[in-house]
Structure 1
Amino acid sequence: MLEWNPLTIAVVVLIVVYIIGSEVLKKYLDMKIEMFYTAEMYQEAIDLLDKIYTRILFSTFKQYYLRFTIYEADGNNKAAELMLEHLLNMRVSKKRRLALVLQAFNFYVMNGRRKDAQGMLDEIKASGNQAVIADSQLTYDIVLGKRCDKIDQMEGMLQQADPQTRAKLYLLLEHQYANKGDKRNAAKYRNLSHKLVEAHRVRRPQDGAKR
């Protein structure tokens, strides 16, 4: 029978306590950051991410991802882009990479970064996911290519769309009407988009797809 001396037992107990304590603290930090994000207390969320214990407990990917999400929501595009560059340079699984590239694509498109958006679109096309490719190409063509021939089709989809899909439709309809020079309807869908965001306040996204 294996006999454990007191020192070995003490070390094992300390390791177990550390592991359990770390997991509890991680969950608390996740909850706190989510609370700050939902309340639009973005600086408080960043301050919490700056804490030494948060940096120790959270992976580098998670820290960059949360910062990107918070900076983007706060309208700090320069800081968000810096975090995005760090994320895109990290080695991750194919699934997580595609999820990240899609987010980068949407970020670049909405900020008028045609060259960067095209680079992400090329990578999306290489994934072979036809549905995602078609949706991304259409988004690119409408927002950056001034396309406006899908208005009737998209307006017909609104009634049956879930909130997430409706938000995307509102955005693309706003851009299409703006491309046509119809400021009134562009403003209409912009206002509908803002109201939808407030009515269905999105909780903080998790840190991407699993590795």
Structure 2
Amino acid sequence: MGYIIATVLVALCLIAVPYYLRKRTWTNLNQEIMEEDFDTFYYTLDSFKCKMSMSAFERENMRLSGYIAQNRKDDVEEQLNMMLNMRIKKQQKLALYQRAFYYYIGLGRAKKTRDMIDLVQSIDPSASQDLEIQYSILIKRESRYIQEIQDRIDRLWDGKSEMDPSKEMAVGTLEYLLGLQYSYNNDIDNMNRVFDLALKHCAGTPYEESILKIKKQKA
């Protein structure tokens, strides 16, 4: 009987300890990057406990987060190239391609952005649809998706009732994409109408600065 109890306790420890260690490590890493304590962040990332509790992909993805947070563009590029050649699961590849897409589109790098869309499409064509829309609007500066973006906004918010705070950022992002398309068409009235809403829902984000700049240019 005692042997059985001891075996059960050992089994529970083997389950509980890695779980606790993983949770604690994730918490530490997130706190360190939020506090911009990058020396400690990279030390934790390369520690034995981190290697024991996180996969290689998870660690390198965290390292990528650090480089992006520090705006270390050369290191980000090198890290992405290394990760793109890692032997990882299909879903991890998909997540990496999508992350690289958002990084490159934020820099306005058309070819790299297009390459990431093609890689996403090679794994999951349905996952590339939203990326195609963003590429069209943000990189190619097209206005092909006015109605589709408006329909998405309408599904999230009726434009009258108080908005669920959890939806504000999503609605604001869509309003930004819609306003951009109106700006490309020089439809100033609709641009201002939509951008004024987006300013309320995207206050304090990079979208705010972009919107104010466009409104000033179009005034």
Structure 2 counterpart of 1:193, from 188, 193, 202: 202
Q: 1:128-143 to 2 correspondence within 5 Å?
A: 128-129=124-125, 131-143=126-138
- 3-state SS of 2:67 partner: helix
Which TM-score applies when normalising by structure 2?
0.63
Question: In the alignment, is the contact (CA less than 8 A) between 2:133 and 2:145 conserved in 1?
Answer: no
Comparing 15-24 with 63-72, greater Cα deviation is found at: 15-24
CA distance in structure 2 between the partners assigned to 1:100 and 1:106 by the alignment: 10
More helix by share: 2
Match of 1:148, SS state, is: coil
Q: Structure 1: 5+ residue runs without aligned partners?
A: 4-8, 198-211
User: Within the alignment, does 1:146 sit opposite 2:155 as a pair?
Assistant: no
Of 44, 48, 59 in structure 1, the residue corresponding to residue 44 of structure 2 is: 48
Picking from 100, 107, 118, the partner of 1:104 is 100
Would you say how many aligned residue pairs link Structure 1 and Structure 2?
Answer: 185
Of structures 1 and 2, the one scoring higher in RCO (CA 8 A, sep 6+) is 1
* More displaced stretch, 181-190 vs 97-106: 181-190
Is 1:125 the counterpart of 2:130 in the alignment? no
Helix, strand or coil for the counterpart of 1:122?
helix
Task: Quote how far apart the aligned CAs of 1:167 are.
Answer: 5.2
Alpha-carbon distance in structure 2 between the residues aligned to 1:120 and 1:172: 20
- Name the counterpart of 1:92: 88
- Preserved CA contact (<8 Å) 1:175 1:186: no
Among candidates 57, 69, 73, match of residue 65 of structure 2:
69
Question: Structure 2 regions of 5+ residues with no counterpart?
Answer: 157-166, 207-219
1:113 to 100, 109, 113: 109
Question: Relative to 1, partners in 2 of residues 1:164 and 1:156: Cα closer, same or farther, differing over 3 Å?
Answer: same
The question of 1:33 aligning with 2:23 is answered no
Report the secondary structure of 1:158's partner residue: helix
Measured on the aligned residues, the alpha-carbon RMSD in Å equals 3.8
Counterparts in 2 of 1:6-25, with a 5 A limit?
21-25=17-21
